[in-house]
Amino acid sequence: MPVLKAFLQAKQQARDDHKYALALEKATEMGVPGHWVKRREHLSLGWVVGKGAWGTVYRCRYEQQQYWDGNKSYVAKLISPTGMRPEEATQLQNEILLWSTLEHPHCVRFRGVIFDVKGGDCFLLCDYMSGGSLLNRQKAQRESNAPPPRTEVLVAELLQIAGGALHLHERGIVHRDLKSDNVLIATDGRLCLSDFGLARLVCPRGDMTSETGSYRWMAPEVTLHKQYGLPCDVYSFAMICTEMVTRTVPFAGTEPVSAAGKAAMERWRPKLPEDVPAAIVALCRACWRQEPADRLTFEQIRESLASYAAPAEPLEAPVARTAAEAHAPASLASYMGADADEGSVRLVARPPFIEHLSGQKGVEGCEDLTVSVSVKSRPRGVSPQSTITLFAEGDDRNTDNHASRETRSQSRPRPNRSSDV
């Protein structure tokens, strides 16, 4: 019996080795590096986690976990090429090639691929995200009437999403389907980008397939069949941001195709609640601008959010400033007159870094002005997209009567000091 058992085991091992050799050949044809190809006999499938257009996702166990990080949970996405169109097969190949190059704490980690040459199936292996999707979390919070997220939590989570997207963009990869359903939550609470099936390397000429992605999150240039590139992801990021403060999908109540059309041709944008911090409002509007070239980059987004989240430092001491110098400000401190109280700001001329300005008469004939500030490099004590209060001489040239509603009013009487940074 021991001899027979050994013979059968050797025979099975030979079969498995032959299958693995065929899988490596398949990987070579697809351009997939051989070290990503795993052996089918080491994979054990568990229960179904979810189903998508291309296949079914299972919890799984891979016996040779020493290849990875030890005792972690994984999932296997079973994809069957049966009925798959040629362009979809190309997308699958593209997903494997691009996803395998990503290694970032806020991108779902690719763990390998298994080719079942005989059956034609393919398994994509990755980490298990036990928290589900951001979309499902927002739905649960909405149904339970949970309080809105604290600003520091919102900023921290947006930083994670922006960090993952920046990792893609630094490699010249555009995701093309950023949305809350493709942001997954790890066991430790991290937000991670997922589903790289539509991702691709940016074409230098911008010649990429139009109307690619999900309509509610789709950038105008993609909807309108124009050339597009990395900025389309920035627009989608803005839509995710609106979801996180409203807990509803963009343009809820409007059909997806109609919503994309109105956003592209009529410049529709989601309505933000009045209690959303001015910094988040400014960030959304800087990211969903109609023209791709006018949007922020993810590097700028990350710097802006990181600066907003940084502990506030005391304002610099007042600095004397001449009227001639007032037209080329260097920082907020440049607007503090030599005779002003420490912490107050004397507005000499409208600073170029101020985007929105609204005014109302304050105490003793001065203007109590609330402004949205957007600066490229943060002055000490001031965050980009912050809301501050300026006191200036009651002069019409310093007011902007057509300021948009994104400026938050804080016009209650107060002493001649600025403490709302």
> Is residue 233 domain-shared with residue 285, that is, in the same domain?
yes
> Is residue 108 domain-shared with residue 32, that is, in the same domain?
yes
* Boundary-marking domain end, from 61, 95, 127: 127
> Is residue 108 domain-shared with residue 140, that is, in the same domain?
no
Tens of pLDDT along 83-98?
677 777 788 888 999 9
> Is 2 a domain residue?
no
403 and 411 Cβ atoms separated by less than 8 Å? no
> Is 237 a domain residue?
yes
> Is residue 286 domain-shared with residue 152, that is, in the same domain?
yes
> Is 3 a domain residue?
no
> Is residue 102 domain-shared with residue 238, that is, in the same domain?
no
> Is residue 58 domain-shared with residue 103, that is, in the same domain?
yes
> Is 332 a domain residue?
yes
> Is residue 212 domain-shared with residue 272, that is, in the same domain?
yes
Dist. CA 363–CA 373, nearest whole Å = 23
CATH number at residue 278: 1.10.510.10
Nearest alpha carbon to residue 197 among 87, 360, 285: 87
> Is residue 121 domain-shared with residue 139, that is, in the same domain?
no
* Boundary-marking domain end, from 92, 127, 162: 127
> Is residue 290 domain-shared with residue 232, that is, in the same domain?
yes
> Is residue 138 domain-shared with residue 262, that is, in the same domain?
yes
Which residues form the catalytic set?
177
With vertex at residue 277, the alpha carbon angle to CA 272 and CA 279, rounded to the nearest 5 degrees, is: 100
* Boundary-marking domain end, from 97, 127, 157: 127
> Is residue 158 domain-shared with residue 295, that is, in the same domain?
yes
Number of structural domains found in the chain:
3
Dist. CA 24–CA 30, nearest whole Å = 10
> Is 379 a domain residue?
yes
Q: What is the pTM of this model?
A: 0.71
Q: Where are the alpha helices (DSSP H) in 144-195?
A: 151-170
DSSP 106-149: TBPPEEEEEEETTTTEEEEEEE--TT-BHHHHHHHHHHTTPPPP
> Is 259 a domain residue?
yes
Task: Say which residues have a Cβ less than 8 Å from residue 289's Cβ, sequence separation at least 6.
Answer: 295
> Is residue 385 domain-shared with residue 414, that is, in the same domain?
yes
Task: Say which residues have a Cβ less than 8 Å from residue 73's Cβ, sequence separation at least 6.
Answer: 59, 127, 128, 130, 187
CATH number at residue 69: 3.30.200.20
pLDDT of res. 99:
95
The count of other CB atoms within 10 Å of the CB of residue 53 is: 6
* Residue 250: domain span: 134-309
pLDDT of res. 92:
86
> Is 343 a domain residue?
yes
> Is 6 a domain residue?
no
Low-confidence ranges of the chain (pLDDT < 50): 67-68, 312-421
Dist. CA 221–CA 331, nearest whole Å = 35
pLDDT of res. 216:
96
